[in-house]
Amino acid sequence: SFITLKIGDAFKNNGALIIPINDYFDVSLNGNVNKSNSLQKRLIADYYESKSEHLIEDIKKTTDITEAPFHAGKVVEVEQKGKRFYLTVNSKKTENNRVKSTLEDFLDALNGIYEFLSSNASRDECVTIPLLSTQHGRNANLTRDVVIRQIIDTFIETTKHDSVCEELVISIHPTDIGKGNLDFDKLCNYLEFQCNNYKDIQFKEKPEGTPIEEPSTISDIS
């Protein structure tokens, strides 16, 4: 297996994409999703012609959403326009139509997606994972740096006993570099060190993407 750190647009990567979602599979949150810069908004806009009800219909094909709330780590697979998406519960819906995510929710989401992928007979060769739970606010335990390192560690640990996917791409949005005060070189060194200590995981010597000095000059993806 391979792990790649990549700065850029997660939707432009090859293979499948993990999309974080709340425990009610509420794809509107009373309009808050449409106001956000989230991956969920991009999914609805670019793959469902901005019709969230069409995404709901795809979810209902395999999941009874009346059984909500679902546990963190619940995964629903949908496919649209030739691309596969794994909707992964990583947060809880609050009374004011917002979402919150704890460290436990984040770790449960990782375990859930790894288990889902490893038990899927038609595993994707490449799966992109975004920085889950970093936009749900003000949790000192869920910094972008911590999330990246946890994804690396848990993926390596899981592959010791399960085959998850051929390549996991950890997608870092350009604005995350500044917002998270990320040191891309240090993260690459950490990835290399962790991989070199487990013989079946291979480090890609040239991680894709270049850290930017002025993240504010990069426009948010709409």
Quick: pLDDT tens for 47-76: 999 999 999 999 999 999 999 999 999 999
Question: CA 125: distance to chain centroid?
Answer: 16
| Dist. CA 198–CA 152, nearest whole Å | 12
The confidence score (pLDDT) of residue 222 equals 25
Burial class of 193 by CB neighbour count within 10 A (0 to 12, 13 to 18, 19+): exposed
Classify residue 15 by its DSSP letter. S
Closest C-alpha to 36, from 18, 21, 57, 55: 21
Quick: pLDDT tens for 136-167: 555 777 899 999 999 999 999 999 888 899 99
Selected from 3.40.220.10, 3.40.50.880, 3.90.950.10, 3.90.1170.40, the CATH number assigned to the domain covering 2-217 reads 3.40.220.10
The packing angle between helices 144-158 and 103-118, to 10°, is 30
Residue 123 pLDDT > 80: no
Strands 83-93 and 75-80: antiparallel
Strand-pairing partners, residue 172, are 7
| Dist. CA 81–CA 3, nearest whole Å | 26
Residue 31 pLDDT > 80: no
Strands 167-172 and 126-129: parallel
Tell me if the bond preceding 69 is cis, omega within 30° of 0: yes
List, in sequence order, every beta strand (DSSP E) within the chain. Answer: 2-7, 16-22, 75-80, 83-93, 99-100, 126-129, 167-172, 202-203
Angle value at C-alpha 148, between 146 and 154, nearest 5 degrees:
95
The confidence score (pLDDT) of residue 218 equals 28
| pTM of this prediction exceeds 0.85 | yes
For residue 88, give the H/E element and its range: strand 83-93
Q: Name the residue with higher pLDDT: 98 or 46.
A: 46
| Dist. CA 162–CA 201, nearest whole Å | 12
Domain ranges of the chain: 2-217
- Tokens 């595993």 belong to 123
Classify residue 85 by its DSSP letter. E
| Dist. CA 148–CA 74, nearest whole Å | 21
